[in-house]
């Protein structure tokens, strides 16, 4: 089975993007700014400063300050145009208008990546219908392919002819970005956080199997011998543990993603 649409290309959002998300959401903690945002997004057309000010009952210069802060924080965007009914010679300069940004902002602590799970499941359903296979099998292949892409990215980031420690460090960086909160010791890597926690609570077998295949794919792409993902569920952490000791039997490189 081949997956037409790779789930992961450049990886999850980085720490800078996380800070941007937090800043954008924190902007709405200010009550007036939150009222202005709600007013703008509740209108059918972009809103001028004057209309926004009147809509929430504040002075125009106050509305301007907060609207522009919402633009700076990525929650609104600006365009220029004339109000309905005003056009032609003598209509004046186009006004600055505000509308909701198309950017999606979400922060979860601890980190969750339900969008990734959703993409994997959607890919699995698509592949299963196309190839006439069970959805569970298709999900395993989609998850492993996505994990392999992550592992290959970590391999590139580890540099040319990387040492084992450099490869493990690159793998940890990738897993941190995915929200797993890895903790490494001499014999294993524990994933303290499950990015799919709520789903795993209700659909444990399905989601833990998907998680395992993600980690198997990571190990495939990383090309690191003696890195073996294993299902080892326990309270307070992810269901998968990565055995990293030199005593673990080397894994075979997966050349194809076909059954």
Give the model's confidence band at 248: pLDDT under 50 very low, under 70 low, under 90 confident, else very high. Answer: very low
> Left if phi > 0, otherwise alpha if psi is -120 to 50, otherwise beta: which for 175?
alpha
Contact 258, 2 (CB under 8 A): yes
Q: pTM for the complete prediction?
A: 0.66
Choice among 65-79, 83-97, 104-118 with the minimum mean pLDDT:
83-97
On the question of pLDDT at 168 being above 80, the answer is: yes
Helical segments of 102-163, H only: 114-131, 135-157
Give the model's confidence band at 182: pLDDT under 50 very low, under 70 low, under 90 confident, else very high. Answer: very high
Q: What is the DSSP letter of 227?
A: -
Give the model's confidence band at 172: pLDDT under 50 very low, under 70 low, under 90 confident, else very high. Answer: very high
Q: For residue 180, what are the contacts with CB-CB under 8 A and spacing of at least 6?
A: 191, 192, 193, 194, 195, 238
Choice among 11-15, 130-134, 173-177 with the minimum mean pLDDT:
11-15
Contact 213, 185 (CB under 8 A): no
At residue 99, the pLDDT reads: 92
To the nearest whole number, what is the mean pLDDT of the chain? 83
Give the model's confidence band at 11: pLDDT under 50 very low, under 70 low, under 90 confident, else very high. Answer: very low
The predicted model gives 53-67 an average pLDDT of: 94
| Burial (0-12, 13-18, 19+ Cβ within 10 Å), 120 | buried
Q: For residue 220, what are the contacts with CB-CB under 8 A and spacing of at least 6?
A: 144, 147, 148, 151, 251, 253, 254
On the question of pLDDT at 112 being above 90, the answer is: no
At residue 9, the pLDDT reads: 40
At residue 29, the pLDDT reads: 81
CA distance 145 to 143: 5
């Amino acid at each position: 089975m081949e997956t037409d649409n790779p789930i992961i290309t450049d990886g999850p959002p980085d720490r800078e993007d996380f800070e941007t998300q937090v800043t954008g959401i924190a902007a709405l903690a200010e009550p007036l700014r939150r009222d202005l945002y709600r007013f703008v997004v509740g209108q059918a057309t972009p809103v001028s400063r004057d209309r926004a000010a009147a809509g929430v009952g504040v002075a125009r210069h106050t509305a301007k300050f907060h609207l522009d802060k919402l633009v700076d924080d990525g929650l609104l965007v600006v365009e220029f145009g004339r109000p309905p009914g005003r056009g032609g010679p003598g209509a004046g300069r186009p006004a600055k208008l505000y509308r909701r940004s198309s950017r999606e902002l979400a922060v979860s602590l601890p980190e969750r990546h339900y969008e990734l799970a959703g993409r994997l499941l959607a890919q699995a359903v698509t592949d299963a219908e196309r190839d006439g296979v069970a959805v569970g099998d298709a999900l395993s292949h989609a998850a492993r392919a996505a994990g392999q892409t992550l592992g290959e990215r970590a391999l590139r980031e580890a540099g040319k002819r990387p040492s084992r420690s450099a490869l493990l460090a690159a793998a940890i960086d990738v897993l941190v970005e995915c929200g797993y909160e890895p903790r490494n010791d001499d014999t294993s890597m524990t994933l303290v956080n499950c990015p799919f926690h709520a789903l795993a609570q209700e659909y444990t077998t399905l989601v833990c199997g998907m998680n395992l295949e993600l980690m198997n794919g990571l190990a495939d792409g990383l090309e690191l011998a003696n890195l073996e993902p294993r299902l080892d569920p326990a309270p307070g952490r992810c269901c998968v543990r990565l055995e990293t000791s030199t005593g673990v039997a080397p894994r075979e490189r997966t050349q194809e993603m076909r059954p």
